[in-house]
Amino acid sequence: MSATQGTPTASGTPATPVPEQPSRWNQAFREITTGNAIISVLAVVLALFVGGIMIAFTNDGVQEAAGYFFSRPGDLLREVWNSVSGAYSALFQGSVYNFRRDTFAAGIKPLTETLTFATPLIMAGLGVALGFRVGMFNIGGRGQMLIAAALGGWVGFAVDLPYGLHMVAALVAGVLGGALWGGIVGLLKARTGAHEVITTIMLNYVAFYLVSYLLREGFLKTPGSNNPKSPATKVTAVFPDLLGPTYSLHFGFILAIAATIFTWWLLSRSNLGFQFRAVGLNPHAARVAGISVKRIYVYAMLFSGGMIGLAGINQVLGTTTSGFGAGLDSGIGFDAITVALLGRSKPWGVFAAGILFGAFKAGGFSMQAAEGVPIDIVLVVQSLIVLFIAAPPLVRAIFRLPAPGSAPRRALPNVTQEVAAK
Amino acid sequence: MSTVAPAVQPASPAADNRPEFEVVTSWKAPIAVGIFTVVAFLLFVAFGREGISTLRLSTSSDLIQLPDLELPTLATGIGISVLLLLITGVSVWMVRSKRRVPIWLISIFAVLFLIGFLVWAAAGETIPVPGLLFGSLSLAVPLIFGALGGVISERVGVVNIAIEGQLLAGAFTSAMVASLTNQPLLGLVAAMFAGVLVSMVLASFSIKYFVDQVIVGVVLNVLVIGLTGFLYSQVMAPNAELLNQPPRFERINIPLLSEIPIIGPVLFRQTMIVYIMYVAVAVVYYGLFHTRWGLRLRSVGEHPQAADTVGINVARTRFWNVSLAGAIVGLGGAYFTLGSVGAFGKEMTAGAGFIALAAVIFGRWDPIRATLAALLFGFASNLQNVLSVIGSPVPSEFMLMLPYVITIAAVAGFVGTSRGPAASGKPYIKS
């Protein structure tokens, strides 16, 4: 794990000649407790704990019981336990398995919901992660998704093509739309040096207003309707269901897996991916080595935007096929950043992080419905997870874990190193 | 001085070995200006509109009444387009003769273009100029506070993407505290505390734990949106009478100054937060460039190692100045609830923090320029509001898009080569 991180200080030799070899089990234990995996798990636990405190504090029953704490302290504890466990069991039952259903087929439905929610998060997260690996911060997920949905969605409802081919055409149009919107950013950075954080934020708004206009008066308008909403996607372009009509899981999830494999191949097996990583780690060294850094910026943003465009078209062809509005992205563009950070910009890490956040999303809705806990708590827990993961020393200090012994303390996670190397 | 001269002298005979001395000229400005001139000719002349445009310059409550300005739309359009063409010609000539296009020329160009657009859009209608400017300033106030906080924070070397979160935290806390205590001033103080709190998280994570500052900023925004949204739904909304009815600041008319035609009512019939903002802009500008505090702050942001060598505590300077930036941004948040809207709503800042960030960069990390940029963005947003009332000839979405397109054009065209503080965004690891 740490070998691929390529920390500049880790290349020094003093780490290897350890005078006294500790036992293998001891070593393995230390690696687990000091490595990334345990930090990630502890960060999730810690964030859920903080979320639990917030749920308990704002619960009416808890507040009531706190009023007579000194006469019956047990009541308070019971109320706290009830509110927090109720909320989190609703979260679990809404995202993984519902024990209140009779059959397995009905009980497992929440898990398929989770995967459906995870699909666009994985796709967009991969796009953001690609940007991170090249040292670019793509905050433009919202705009790229909207443009992708506009172009792909138009192909989906306005063009007549046979079944299958239609879907592919819409997919390609959508990915091209996202790539175009991302490519503008890459081109501006390469040509004029405009910072991508600014241009992506600005293009988000430009895309939002552009698509709003198109939905109101342009080619995305539903004829004879005043609702700023597009017509429904034609049946020939809709993603097929994976598990039959009772589940919402659709072909998009297969695409998400394929996108993960493609990103992994691109980054670690292809020539272009090598150049991506070289520029990300040190653009100056990459330039000296003969890599055209500007060209790589454009390519990286094309791929990054295309991947996020896939998330956008996934929403139109898979999740909301009845027509889309300008709020189509529903925060996925920003969630993708946290997904990429949690996944440490590694394709399979992003995949896992996307599923976790998909579970939070699916469970959050049922938590809100069953226990009345606002879904905003999910945002709090998600951002806390990322904050804790970004600062391993903090988590170690809280849980009194040993710092990585002989290895030097890694100052920054992988992503930040590349962003900082610019 | 004279001791240096001999050392320089021997270099000049070898001049034929060196590449010739060349002034770096950029064609970006003339190209951008040219594009806007073409747009002007297309819009104002080719698609020119007949009629009379009326610009109302006074409100009924003014002491000095100015007459309404009535301009023939097409003729004014032609006149302004010709003027714009002249400026384009001048800028091309300046670049050809290896000179830089001065910023004031571009400013004149921008103002002329805006007037031309206003006249074109108002064909056959009346535009109340004081109202337009007043609304622009109200929209710009939180942006200016945000931009000032951004400037301080970035000048000391910490990228502040969390402006949005600081604004939102300030808005929430000020609404709550002001409603509970019925004292808008206490709400203002609470907003500053909330901004500082968000800033301290940003500062400690980026300075103590060396986490990438952009990442902490982005995550903090999500965290604050989640926290305020959660508390709003759970605590504030059920007890709205008690917790979400803050008293608003009264308007204070400054005698004499508020009677200046056109700008008087706009600038000097405002609430206390706006007056605090004027003071803040002046103090931040003076402090940054004319005091020891400012010099230390900038040195830490430009070259922390050098600052450390001369005995400045880099980590402490960064921590407290980022916290100060949070306090200033928090004031901007309070303006949402105590100044303009009057109650807290979920995600009510609606991206203002990001526009403030754009103003910081558009304003080249300078408090005055950033303030002007924020005013420009406020103007563009409010222009859309005014035009939608009189029946805008352009779809409202394109008007709303304008500030963002201008920012992209500016970042790519005019300030593309501008550089932020050298060490901004980089953690300082003392060795």
Question: Considering only alpha carbons, which residue of chain B is nearest residue A381?
Answer: B223
User: For residue B277, is pLDDT > 90?
Assistant: yes
The Cα A318–Cα A145 span in angstroms is: 14
Q: Where does the pLDDT of residue A93 fall: very low under 50, low under 70, confident under 90, or very high at 90 and above?
A: confident
B178 and B64 co-located in one domain:
no
Contacts of A268 (CB under 8 A, 6+ apart): none
Instruction: Give how many domains chain B has, as a whole number.
Output: 2
User: For residue A253, is pLDDT > 80?
Assistant: yes
pLDDT reported for residue B125:
78
Of B209, B219, B233, Cβ closest to residue A383: B219
pLDDT reported for residue A124:
95
Query: Is B147:B363 a contact under the CB 8 Å cutoff?
Result: yes
DSSP state of A315: I
* Contact call for A197 and B408, based on CB within 8 A: no
Separation in Å, CA of B189 to nearest CA in chain A: 24
pLDDT reported for residue A208:
92
User: For residue B6, is pLDDT > 60?
Assistant: no
Task: Count contacts between A and B (CB, < 8 Å).
Answer: 151
Contacts of A397 in chain B (CB under 8 A): none
pLDDT reported for residue B15:
43
The Cα A192–Cα B23 span in angstroms is: 19
Q: Where does the pLDDT of residue B214 fall: very low under 50, low under 70, confident under 90, or very high at 90 and above?
A: confident
Q: Where does the pLDDT of residue A5 fall: very low under 50, low under 70, confident under 90, or very high at 90 and above?
A: very low
Averaged pLDDT for residues A161-179: 92
Give the domain-ending residue among B124, B150, B180: B124
Contacts of A48 in chain B (CB under 8 A): none
Q: What CATH number corresponds to the domain at position B217?
A: 1.10.3470
DSSP state of A372: -
Query: Is A336:A178 a contact under the CB 8 Å cutoff?
Result: no
A412 in contact with B, Cβ within 8 Å: yes
* Contact call for A383 and B426, based on CB within 8 A: no
- Strand B251-253 relative to strand B269-271, pairing: antiparallel
Whether B393 maps to a domain, the answer reads: no
% of chain B beyond a pLDDT of 90: 26
Separation in Å, CA of B230 to nearest CA in chain A: 5
Whether B361 maps to a domain, the answer reads: yes
ipTM higher than threshold 0.95: no
Q: Where does the pLDDT of residue A29 fall: very low under 50, low under 70, confident under 90, or very high at 90 and above?
A: low
> Per mean pLDDT, which range of A127-131, A207-211, A320-324, B147-151 is the poorest?
A320-324
pLDDT reported for residue A3:
40
pLDDT reported for residue B190:
94
A199 in contact with B, Cβ within 8 Å: yes
B120 and B209 co-located in one domain:
no
> Per mean pLDDT, which range of A126-140, A166-180, A408-422, B73-87 is the poorest?
A408-422
B79 and B155 co-located in one domain:
no
Amino acid identity, residue A277? R
User: For residue B309, is pLDDT > 70?
Assistant: yes
Question: Considering only alpha carbons, which residue of chain B is nearest residue A395?
Answer: B209
Query: Is B320:B204 a contact under the CB 8 Å cutoff?
Result: no
A377 in contact with B, Cβ within 8 Å: yes
B147 and B112 co-located in one domain:
no
Question: Considering only alpha carbons, which residue of chain A is nearest residue B346?
Answer: A376
B168 and B53 co-located in one domain:
no
A95 in contact with B, Cβ within 8 Å: no
* Contact call for B226 and A210, based on CB within 8 A: no
* Chain B contact probe: residue of A147, A204, A357, A379 with most B CBs at under 10 A: A379
* Chain A contact probe: residue of B198, B222, B355 with most A CBs at under 10 A: B222
pLDDT reported for residue A4:
41
Whether B402 maps to a domain, the answer reads: no
Q: C-alpha dihedral over A168, A173, A178, A183, to 10 degrees? A: 120
* Contact call for A193 and B361, based on CB within 8 A: no
pLDDT reported for residue B350:
82
The pTM assigned to this predicted structure is 0.82
Question: Considering only alpha carbons, which residue of chain B is nearest residue A415?
Answer: B212
Find the domain containing B179 and state its range: 132-380
A414 in contact with B, Cβ within 8 Å: no
Averaged pLDDT for residues B1-13: 42
* Contact call for B226 and A201, based on CB within 8 A: no
Separation in Å, CA of A300 to nearest CA in chain B: 19
Tell me which range, B53-67, B261-275, B398-412, is most confidently predicted by mean pLDDT.
Answer: B261-275
A194 in contact with B, Cβ within 8 Å: yes
The radius of gyration of chain B's CA atoms, rounded to the nearest angstrom, is 24
The Cα B57–Cα B52 span in angstroms is: 16
pLDDT reported for residue B24:
60
Separation in Å, CA of B257 to nearest CA in chain A: 37
User: For residue A37, is pLDDT > 80?
Assistant: no
User: For residue B272, is pLDDT > 90?
Assistant: no
Give the domain-ending residue among B79, B102, B124: B124
DSSP reduced 3-state for A231: coil
Taking CA A236 as the corner, what is the angle to CA A233 and CA A241, rounded to the nearest 5 degrees? 85
Taking CA A196 as the corner, what is the angle to CA A190 and CA A199, rounded to the nearest 5 degrees? 105
* Contact call for A188 and B223, based on CB within 8 A: no
Unique residue bearing structure tokens 């002034």: B23
B71 and B166 co-located in one domain:
no
B370 and B229 co-located in one domain:
yes
B95 and B164 co-located in one domain:
no
B118 and B169 co-located in one domain:
no
Unique residue bearing structure tokens 């967009």: A124
Contacting A residues, span 299-338, partner chain B, CB-CB under 8 Å:
334, 337-338
B297 and B329 co-located in one domain:
yes
Whether B342 maps to a domain, the answer reads: yes
Averaged pLDDT for residues A370-378: 85
* Contact call for A192 and B161, based on CB within 8 A: no
Contacts of B28 in chain A (CB under 8 A): 192
pLDDT reported for residue B126:
80
Distance of CA A360 to the CA centre of its chain: 12
Averaged pLDDT for residues B79-103: 86
Give the domain-ending residue among B339, B354, B380: B380
% of chain A beyond a pLDDT of 90: 35
Separation in Å, CA of A186 to nearest CA in chain B: 12
B330 and B225 co-located in one domain:
yes
Of B214, B230, B232, Cβ closest to residue A377: B230
* Chain A contact probe: residue of B26, B204, B211 with most A CBs at under 10 A: B211
Domains of chain A: 33-420 (1.10.3470)
* Contact call for A202 and B405, based on CB within 8 A: yes
B229 and B359 co-located in one domain:
yes
Whether B296 maps to a domain, the answer reads: yes
Whether B420 maps to a domain, the answer reads: no
User: For residue B228, is pLDDT > 60?
Assistant: yes
User: For residue B82, is pLDDT > 80?
Assistant: yes
Averaged pLDDT for residues A121-145: 92
Separation in Å, CA of B411 to nearest CA in chain A: 6
User: For residue B415, is pLDDT > 60?
Assistant: no
A197 in contact with B, Cβ within 8 Å: yes
pLDDT reported for residue A137:
86
pLDDT reported for residue A12:
41
User: For residue A192, is pLDDT > 90?
Assistant: no
Contacts of B413 in chain A (CB under 8 A): 192
> Per mean pLDDT, which range of A29-43, A380-394, B74-88, B155-169 is the poorest?
A29-43
pLDDT tens, position by position, B100-154: 777 788 888 888 888 888 888 877 778 888 888 888 898 899 999 999 999 999 9
Averaged pLDDT for residues B390-414: 75
Q: In sequence order, what are the beta bridge partners of B71?
A: B53
Whether B238 maps to a domain, the answer reads: yes
B405 vs B333, residue with greater confidence:
B333
The Cα A267–Cα A350 span in angstroms is: 13
Separation in Å, CA of A227 to nearest CA in chain B: 16
* Contact call for A386 and B229, based on CB within 8 A: no
Averaged pLDDT for residues B374-397: 79
Taking CA B265 as the corner, what is the angle to CA B261 and CA B269, rounded to the nearest 5 degrees? 150
Q: In sequence order, what are the beta bridge partners of A250?
A: A241
B87 vs A12, residue with greater confidence:
B87
Neighbours of B295 (CB within 10 A): 15
Whether B3 maps to a domain, the answer reads: no
Of B161, B222, B234, Cβ closest to residue A58: B234
* Contact call for A195 and B361, based on CB within 8 A: yes
